[in-house]
A and B are shown apart, each in its own frame.
Chain A
Amino acid sequence: MGIAEILQKYGQNYAMAIFETLSMTLLCFVIAMGISIVVTVMRVSPIKPLRLVGDLYVQIFRNIPGVALLVLVAYALPNIRIVLPWKTCVEVTVVLLASAFGSENFMTGINAIGVGQIEAARSIGLTFTKTMQKIVIPQALRSAVLPMTNLLIATMLTTALGSQVPLNPQELTGLVSYITTDSTGLGILPFMISAVCYAGFSFLLGLLGNHIDKKVRVLR
């Protein structure tokens, strides 16, 4: 079977897998951004216990391999009576990983702001919350566009963890295992199709990221 035949037989599956991969990516990324903002605000807050919790969160989830984290979520959580659908397990794992890295990106952005602007904000009477809202977060967001683009791509690639659990429909990587067991003798062709999809989307996201960065970048 050549590419044409594979696509003819499994085209529908690929289309659904692309949709699964992209929709999981988008959902996970949006939630991860929300969590990383919260975690980052905790990490720079004047309240020490909050800072500790934030730092701990990042240290834990940044340093566990994705597969190990998925195993924990899928097979350890049921021990404490938390049984999640397979897809949710994958999404939770991806969100935990991505939010830890996301917070690191924001921290880099915040460190670039420098203490001077924050002091200036305080000296005109802005409270901690307002300083965060008006000065720190907007600048951290803008200077995080490029690293966050990379994180978005990494998030997409991480949804391939979905191949480790039974999903229906499958995402792009899981589909490859399905096809190679369904029809034998296809070699790496089914994988190549998925790989081209990943690479193509990564490329487009990269372009989009560069475009946004040019528009919002903070001149220094």
Chain B
Amino acid sequence: MSTQTPVIELRHVDKHYGDLHVLRDINLSVHKGEVLVLIGPSGSGKSTLCRTINRLETIDSGEILIEGEPLPQEGKALAQMRAEIGMVFQSFNLFAHKTILQNVTLGPIEVLGMSKAEAEARAMELLRRVGVDAQAAKVPAQLSGGQQQRVAIARSLAMQPKAMLFDEPTSALDPEMINEVLEVMVELAREGMTMVVVTHEMNFARRVSNRVVFMADGQIVEEGTPTEFFDHPKTARAKDFLDSIRGH
């Protein structure tokens, strides 16, 4: 696996927000089909890291490579590159004025240049996969949070991304809706999607992730398999953190 070019590779990435050093010398590779869980205390830089990967945020120094290619600077090339990495946000961020179907077809039509008919056929297929095809004609505000998040996943998938980033996809959801979203993600993982998931859902991490990366204060402090990390954390920071999320 490691002989292949990683789908996502970060080399010595540094970023500041003013005086705040949010990312410190981040080195990380994500290989094809790998599911990486990113975990860490609030403010440790997990969201920032995700956002730099598809260049919603710029970096100060270092390199980010997608399948070995550096991210282009601004402009159309960058927009194209962003489409290759799907992103699912905590707050769904569906387009409020468009129907569920239009939310999913917009990217394929506008960015991939797909015909409307083909985009709609594929969108319906994706909506069926995530179980919201019956809602295709509604607008986002008419759906539950769990349904909206599944649409957001379908919207990303419609771009046929090489990898997907999930930034706390279930933390804005009512508890009874968390599982329906996690199930979709488990299914995606099974199908071989390369995924980076920021989440505190330990069951999900244990079930599907290959690797857990623990961040604190903008640094990668520890990484390992889910079993290693959750059962035998090596660093004091990771132990403290795990205690805190387990409610000790």
Residues of A within 8 A of B (CB): 113, 116-117, 119-127, 130, 134-135, 138-139, 142, 218-220
Contacts and interface: CB of A to CB of B under 8 A. Distances in A.
A134 B110 contact: yes
Given A124-B107, A124-B156, A135 B82 contact: no
B97 interface: yes
Contacts of A139: 96-97
Nearest to A216: B97
B159 interface: yes
B200 to A, nearest CB: 21
A116 B92 CA distance: 8
B197 interface: no
Interface stretch (B34-42, B83-91, B236-244): B83-91
Nearest to B80: A125
A54 B50 CA distance: 33
A119 B111 contact: no
A120 B87 contact: yes
Contacts of A120: 87, 89, 93-95, 152, 155
Contacts of B95: 117, 120-121, 135
Given A124-B155, A135-B95, A219-B142, A119 B56 contact: yes
B111 A124 contact: yes
A122 B97 contact: no
Q: Name the prevailing secondary structure of the B interface residues.
A: mixed
Contacts of B54: 123
Given A116-B89, A219-B142, A126 B96 contact: no
A135 B91 CA distance: 17
Contacts of B96: 113, 117, 139, 218-220
Given A127-B79, A134-B106, A119 B93 contact: yes
Contacts, number: 78
Interface of B: 54, 56, 75-76, 79-87, 89, 91-97, 106-107, 110-111, 139-142, 152, 155-156, 159
B141 A123 contact: no
A139 to B, nearest CB: 5
Contacts of A113: 96
A126 B83 CA distance: 8
B76 A123 contact: no
A220 B141 contact: yes
A130 B111 CA distance: 9
B139 A219 contact: yes
B111 A116 contact: no
B91 A124 contact: no
Nearest to A143: B97
Contacts of B111: 124-126, 130
Given A124-B159, A125-B80, A219 B87 contact: no
9 contacts: A116-B91, A122-B82, A124-B86, A124-B107, A125-B159, A126-B79, A130-B111, A134-B110, A219-B140
B100 to A, nearest CB: 12
Nearest to A135: B95
Contact of B89 (A119, A127, A134, A220): A119
Contacts of B93: 116-117, 119-120
A81 to B, nearest CB: 42
Nearest to B55: A122
B107 A126 contact: yes
Given A120-B93, A219-B140, 10 more contacts: A116-B92, A117-B96, A120-B89, A123-B86, A130-B110, A130-B111, A135-B97, A139-B97, A219-B96, A219-B141
Contacts of A135: 95, 97
Contacts of B107: 124-126
Nearest to B84: A125
B188 to A, nearest CB: 17
For the complex of A and B, list the 6 residue pairs with the smallest distance between their C-beta atoms, beginning with the closest. Answer: A125-B83, A219-B141, A124-B107, A116-B93, A120-B93, A125-B111
A95 B107 CA distance: 37
Contacts of A220: 96, 141
